[in-house]
Structure 1
Amino acid sequence: MKHIRADDPDGQGRWSFSSQQATLRRLDKAFRAFFDRVKAGRTPGCPRFKGRGWFDSVQWPKDGDGCRWDSQPEHPTATYVRLQGIGHVRVHQHRPVHGRVKTISVKREGRRWYVLVSCQGVPARPLPATGAVTGIDMGVASLVTTSDGEHVVNPRHLAATADRLAVVRRDLARKQRGSKRRRKAVARVAALHAKARRQRIDGAHETALALIRDYGMIVHEDLRITNMTRSASGTIDAPGRNVAQKSGLNRSILDAGWGVFLTILAHKVESAGRELIAVNPAGTSRTCARCGHCAKENHLTQASFVCTACGHAAHADVNAAVNVLRAGLALRRAAEAA
């Protein structure tokens, strides 16, 4: 990198050295993950070459090294960020920044640009203690079901825009590669996906905030979403079964945004001083919350649970949430005893 910058002072040499190092670290991370998949015997998926037009984000690892947040603090109303090689850029700051700015990233979503700031020393804002505990079950019909019987409806943001996406995708398929019209069509597709993503994140924030306000301890399933959404197509020699059904289920799981919700919930729990416990989800949907009998026949339909041993009947998601809560309480008691 030093030799490249020295040979091209008016090109690569005028950009931030630390930012270029961060990009190389991303490349190294991609190849390390590739070789790990090769060693594990999984489908490797070699990293593809990406030109400069394919990168949608760039990072400066340290505030003041190639970038400066709030570079014009004397300005009475506007906020500016200074980027090496570009200059001062005005930022529409939607909320105040707390703590000390550590890293700064610039991200492109469609035709919009965003500045992402990570901070250190952000003061926690603990909520008053409630003493209430709950277990939550993640699902597709209901995004979250608590052990108290409350259901949070899954809004299915991507499915709601499926018709519009189909129209713009057909329009995109008719465009010639490399043309200006195709770039505009790609931007329209990206805009619809970005809107669904923003709606999904906003809903996750609202749901997580409601949970931490009502409960002092929350127990959830330790889901392996990557494994759950793996394709069932198989190989040429051993093709998979029910590929279309599995593909639809994977799409619904990803549209629900379980991973996004659990990440946001963990951040809010830490800031509010609550307790979050993750438990093994094995058997929680097939085990009776009353007698403990575990059998596949207990859970034959999506919504109903009927125990074949004691006859206990309940909503399947509520029954699973109760089992999740009991497993979390058992883990906490074991940790306290140790």
Structure 2
Amino acid sequence: MILACDEVPAEPLPATGSIVGIDMGVRQFFTTSDGEHVAHPRFFQVMAGELAEAQRHLATFPKRTRRRTKKHRAAARKVATIHAKIRRQRLDHHHKRANELIRDHDVIAHKKLNTAGMTKSPEAKADPETPGGFLPNGAAAKAGLNRSILDAGWGLFFGILAQKAESAARRVIPVDARNTSRTCPTCGHVAKENRLTQTKFECTACGFTANADHVGAMNILSRAGLALCHVA
């Protein structure tokens, strides 16, 4: 059976007079310019143990067989079922968070991110003093960060947010991501040293302190405001 439906018409929402910036993260899913932290559910991480066990079981079967056995098919279905569950959970989470943003704000600003580039593995660097050896390149730490970014699904979320915004007559503004977490929202001082840790920001010029993700979101909001003024 094939079902067809007409295009769903746009349903503009009443104006709220609110504009917000959001800073995506790996510790929190995102932080708003109002200081709200939205938790990162880490669906893949939660299911990682069960998935690894299912994959190990699948790997015990011969790779090349003329006829798949019933047990082999069941093992393959188990792996596929876990992946599908993770995708469904992530998609549901993205839709709910996007709906909340669209409902409460007329304009939502976020960093313009190249998630494909951000999740590339670091290149191996040969050690000139050790033939056949390589210098440390932080590959293990980068792999962990990549898993967190992919688990969060930022690109998928931005796509859903943009679609919902268009339907509801809201506006989504991607802004330049550079130095959003290193710029003081109070005095404008920019320095790498301003960001003490992954979560703590302290301006070396004026002493302003805050959560680093909150600072990022405030700067994103500021840049979106400048973009709106430019358009106007």
Same fold (TM over 0.5): yes
Equivalent position of 2:78 in the other structure: 188
Structure having greater relative contact order (Cα 8 Å, sep ≥ 6): 2
Aligned letter for 1:189?
V
Equivalent position of 1:326 in the other structure: 222
Report deviation, 1:182: 2.8
RMSD value, Cα: 1.6
Give me the whole-angstrom Cα distance separating, in 2, the residues matched to 1:215 and 1:269.
10
Give me the whole-angstrom Cα distance separating, in 2, the residues matched to 1:182 and 1:240.
40
Give me the whole-angstrom Cα distance separating, in 2, the residues matched to 1:265 and 1:168.
33
Check the 8 A contact 1:233/1:239 in 2, yes or no: no
Check the 8 A contact 1:146/1:321 in 2, yes or no: yes
The 3-state SS of whatever aligns with 1:305 is strand
Please, which of 160, 169, 191 is the counterpart of residue 273 of structure 1?
169
> Which structure 2 residues correspond to residues 64-83 of structure 1 after superposition, within 5 A?
80-81=1-2
| Identical residues among aligned pairs (%) | 49
Equivalent position of 1:148 in the other structure: 34
Report deviation, 1:235: 6.3
Largest Rg, 1 or 2:
1
Give me the whole-angstrom Cα distance separating, in 1, the residues matched to 2:211 and 2:135.
35
Give me the whole-angstrom Cα distance separating, in 2, the residues matched to 1:163 and 1:331.
45
Q: How many residues align?
A: 222
The 3-state SS of whatever aligns with 1:241 is coil
Aligned letter for 1:130?
T
Aligned letter for 1:172?
L
Aligned letter for 1:278?
P
The 3-state SS of whatever aligns with 2:183 is coil
TM-score of the superposed pair, with normalisation by structure 1: 0.63
1:199 corresponds to 2:95: no
TM-score of the superposed pair, with normalisation by structure 2: 0.91
Equivalent position of 2:56 in the other structure: 170
Give me the whole-angstrom Cα distance separating, in 2, the residues matched to 1:240 and 1:143.
30
Of Structure 1 and Structure 2, the greater strand share is in 1
Report deviation, 1:242: 0.6
Report deviation, 1:239: 6.1
User: Deviations 1:155-184 (Å, cap 9, x if unpaired)?
Assistant: 000000111112112111211123323332
Give me the whole-angstrom Cα distance separating, in 1, the residues matched to 2:28 and 2:61.
39
Aligned letter for 1:151?
H
Equivalent position of 1:136 in the other structure: 22
Report deviation, 1:300: 2.1
Report deviation, 1:185: 1.6
Equivalent position of 1:15 in the other structure: none
Check the 8 A contact 2:125/2:137 in 1, yes or no: no
* Structure 1 unaligned regions, length at least 5: 1-79, 82-90, 92-96, 100-118
Give me the whole-angstrom Cα distance separating, in 2, the residues matched to 1:215 and 1:240.
45
Aligned letter for 2:106?
G
Give me the whole-angstrom Cα distance separating, in 2, the residues matched to 1:255 and 1:240.
25
Please, which of 92, 98, 102 is the counterpart of residue 212 of structure 1?
102
Check the 8 A contact 1:232/1:240 in 2, yes or no: no
Check the 8 A contact 1:303/1:317 in 2, yes or no: yes
User: Deviations 1:59-99 (Å, cap 9, x if unpaired)?
Assistant: xxxxxxxxxxxxxxxxxxxxx31xxxxxxxxx7xxxxx652
